[in-house]
Amino acid sequence: MSLNSKWFKHFHGTPEQKDSLAESIRNSSFVLDLLTKIIEDDVRDLKQSRVGDYDNPNWSIKTADRNGGVRALDNVLKLIKLERTNSI
């Protein structure tokens, strides 16, 4: 399993510590898989939620908020999915 390179972006340890971190992340695959399912449920719920009617003057703000939430969760999913490319 490869890891997203962002796991190491702010890591400043030795190569041995980096290997240990990578192993710890890989050994957490059960938890990360469970977290992935939870986040995917949240993304699906956000995408299916109705913003409301367009007569509301705040409809565009609500839509932007929902889209931003989905985008943030998608970024987390890219990080925790261990089979992603751009890997170490």
Domain ranges of the chain: 5-80
Tokens linked to 74: 């998608």
CA distances from 16 to 3, 19, 25, 41 (A): 16, 5, 14, 36
Strand partners, 4: 87
List phi, psi (to 5°) of 87.
-115, 170
Ranges 13-17, 18-22, 73-77, 81-85: which has the least confidence: 81-85
Helices (H) and strands (E) in the chain, counts: 3, 0
pTM score over 0.75: yes
pLDDT over 90 (residue 63): no
pLDDT over 70 (residue 4): yes
Who wins on pLDDT, 4 or 2?
4
Helix, strand, or coil here: 72?
helix
pLDDT over 60 (residue 16): yes
